[in-house]
Chains A and B, each alone.
Chain A
Amino acid sequence: QVQLQESGPGLVRPSGTLSLTCTVSGGSISSTNWWTWVRQPPGKGLEWIGEIFPSGITNYTPSLKSRATISLDKSRNQFSLKLSSVTAADTAVYYCVRDKGGLDYWGQGTLVTVSS
């Protein structure tokens, strides 16, 4: 059974960088899946942030492309999200997700609040 778990600071200062890591267990991050980040502001809908393939290919949503970086650490079976120059609008629950022709395995999500 594949499991994903997000980790990282729950509070980030405005203009700072949000950094989250997703640890994958029960499966290899080197397998032929896309590894994805999705976020959800409190009380709002889902937003697809971006994805990475084991080869290192990445795709991002245009509105975040200039600030987001997704990377992979095969030795630790982890992938990560960095989002720079954050504002209050980046406050959300962040999910890491496996995409195997559908977003089939989700982490539990982690709330990141941007506030001074």
Chain B
Amino acid sequence: EIVLTQSPGTLSLSPGERATLSCRASQSVTSDYLAWFQQKPGQAPRLLIYGASNRATGIPDRFSGTGSGTDFTLTITRLEPEDFAVYYCQQYGSSPNTFGQGTKLEIK
């Protein structure tokens, strides 16, 4: 099974700043089938990015995904107050699908 390691565990930034979140896979992710999710307290996760770089429906363009193979990045330019949440990456190219452990983006 593919293990996904996210870094950092916690990221402290201010509104208006740029956030860079990393997801590293223990082996190459098939066809770059890598997704990113945002989760706020008490809510279900929301799909942000699929296929490593494709924004899901309704996701603002300040969210972008890059990377391939084993190294992937989620970038959020110009942080808004509603962006502070926990972010998870997930690979769905190899069964079993697996999630990273999450990165908490908190207000500095």
Contacts and interface: CB of A to CB of B under 8 A. Distances in A.
A45 B90 contact: no
A26 interface: no
Interface residues of B, number: 23
B45 A46 contact: yes
B101 interface: yes
Interface residues of A, number: 21
A48 B92 CA distance: 10
B84 interface: no
By secondary structure, the A interface counts as: strand
By secondary structure, the B interface counts as: loop
Contacts of B57: 104
B44 A106 contact: yes
Interface string B79-108: 000000000101010011111111000000
A102 B47 contact: yes
B23 interface: no
B50 interface: yes
Nearest to A47: B99
Contact of B95 (A47, A59, A104): A59
B95 A103 contact: no
Contacts of B37: 46, 103
B56 interface: yes
B95 to A, nearest CB: 5
A47 B102 CA distance: 11
A25 interface: no
B44 A102 contact: no
A45, A51, A59, A102: residue with the most chain B Cβ atoms closer than 10 Å: A102
Given A46-B90, A48-B90, 19 more contacts: A45-B102, A46-B45, A46-B102, A47-B99, A48-B97, A48-B99, A50-B96, A59-B96, A62-B96, A95-B44, A95-B45, A102-B47, A102-B50, A102-B51, A102-B56, A102-B92, A104-B50, A106-B44, A108-B44
